Structure 1
């Protein structure tokens, strides 16, 4: 945990700020000490590894948007106790840079976005999370110790993720197109996105990013509802990848693992029986976890 000293504030009611800052977007939520939400705001990427100034400016932009909705003034910044859950602060160098940038809050509790997600999922109690979005990553928070699992990036890692799901779907569809696997309505729909020409798929893969593979997720989910055998096979494979990670998180001491991310609700019904009782939905989001961090820091000082 990294922090800055508590600043002197006036006698007005202290406020809490929870920030969830990732590589795509930054979200901020302001509450009072009783947890009543006063305002929320949004901005762009807040990953200091890809730009310190842009990350800190995004934090302030999202914070000021939340302050505007809460009818707060610039002078109120000094009574805001901030919990920041940011991507890219795994290393002390990035933490020090963020803390030294000059964010104008009463205090700062700085941790990773995964830490904040864990805190939010179990309201500050022990547990684990499995993020199943475009990528995937597991994390456990046991007795204050944070450990991560997987998340090394697509295509070498990110098991059970949307990108891996899309890759598997395209690979099968190419095989089916050439008669090496049975065609299904889903495989034909996927090949139609390449105008039924494998050469177009090859040209696409040369420039495709993980999110482009993940963009096939909604199509696959649509065909799950029609009992398409390929769609069911693919989601089951994703569930097996998720289960592999849940088992390790459980072995590390997490009695429950909260599934978060856009793919989670579709994977959960397909989880194997041995992990179905461990998997759960989060109690709160990463902004809520960051608020727990902020309140804990404010009361500890």
Structure 2
């Protein structure tokens, strides 16, 4: 590896792709954000988002795209637990000097406790739990929008829309939640709602998660029911990754913080806010892969 090598850590999720450019002392020199980077939902979009974020980082330090061949990228992406997504990312003909990619959960776990063993719960657009043990990662949940991601932002949005449609059908009573969703949509036409959301993904559903929490804080019964269901799942997930509440669990993700008041006391006691940026964990993973190749 040459002295002019550039190190960039990527944290790619269903909503956005965050990138940070580090020097050899692991100081952040630049950072950027681009579009969604879920490798399973859309691998091509993930690749485009990564490339865009890297270019933005380079531009921030006065470098042009000609520097891409000197860039060493470590990336953790949502959806990388799926074999087909892994293959698409491994086969990507990227322009970088090196590209090491794993799951977003893996880099978060590596960042959370400095690479040491720990439990982790991530709740953002998607959700999952994990245990890092002897440098190996065991993941729980995170099966995607259709089959999993319980309690996540996208899951909350889906539940809110389902409730709203039932309220518009007069199958259940209207609520503050259904009223707020209709207000956000700008209309209450069921056919239009179905047409608009039938083929949309996690990011679009996730936009409704703040509404659910806002209505829950106002003691709306429908919103509270959804939040409590999500919290029950997270209690069980935390119990699983902490060996029955016996070990600290780091948490990460914009949605997770809002759930804490609704969790069991046993879960609250062992939760530790992850303050180390996941992009730094991506650099740790990058170093591990380069070390295995004897490049550092």
Using structure 1 for the length normalisation, give the TM-score.
0.76
Deviation at 1:25, TM superposition (A): 3.4
Question: Could you say if the C-alpha distance between residues 32 and 150 of structure 1 is closer, same or farther in structure 2, counting changes exceeding 3 Å?
Answer: same
- 1:71 aligned counterpart, secondary structure: coil
2:77 is the alignment partner of 1:86: yes
Equivalent residues of 2:116, 2:135 under 8 A apart: no
1:72-106 deviation line (CA, Å, top 9, x unaligned): 45565555433122344446675565455454544
Q: Give the structure 1 partner of residue 152 of structure 2.
A: 161
Question: Could you say if the C-alpha distance between residues 162 and 63 of structure 1 is closer, same or farther in structure 2, counting changes exceeding 3 Å?
Answer: closer
Equivalent residues of 1:82, 1:105 under 8 A apart: yes
Q: Give the structure 2 partner of residue 3 of structure 1.
A: none
- 2:274 aligned counterpart, secondary structure: coil
RMSD: 3.6
Structure 2's unaligned 5+ residue stretches are none
CA distance in 2, matches of 1:202, 1:156: 25
Q: Give the structure 1 partner of residue 123 of structure 2.
A: 132
Deviation at 1:272, TM superposition (A): 0.7
Q: Give the structure 1 partner of residue 216 of structure 2.
A: 224
1:67 to 50, 55, 58: 58
Alignment of 1:165-184 (within 5 A): 165-172=156-163, 184=175
Q: Give the structure 2 partner of residue 238 of structure 1.
A: 230
Using structure 2 for the length normalisation, give the TM-score.
0.78
- 2:275 aligned counterpart, secondary structure: coil
- 2:242 aligned counterpart, secondary structure: helix
Q: Give the structure 1 partner of residue 193 of structure 2.
A: 204
Deviation at 1:27, TM superposition (A): 2.6
Q: Give the structure 1 partner of residue 107 of structure 2.
A: 116
CA distance in 1, matches of 2:105, 2:124: 13
CA distance in 2, matches of 1:172, 1:147: 34
Question: Could you say if the C-alpha distance between residues 211 and 202 of structure 1 is closer, same or farther in structure 2, counting changes exceeding 3 Å?
Answer: farther
Computing the radius of gyration from Cα coordinates, the structure with the larger value is 1
Moved more, 108-117 or 28-37: 108-117
Deviation at 1:280, TM superposition (A): 2.3
CA distance in 2, matches of 1:17, 1:118: 18
Q: Give the structure 2 partner of residue 4 of structure 1.
A: none
Equivalent residues of 1:142, 1:254 under 8 A apart: no
1:118-163 deviation line (CA, Å, top 9, x unaligned): 2223332222332323332222222122222122234543221233
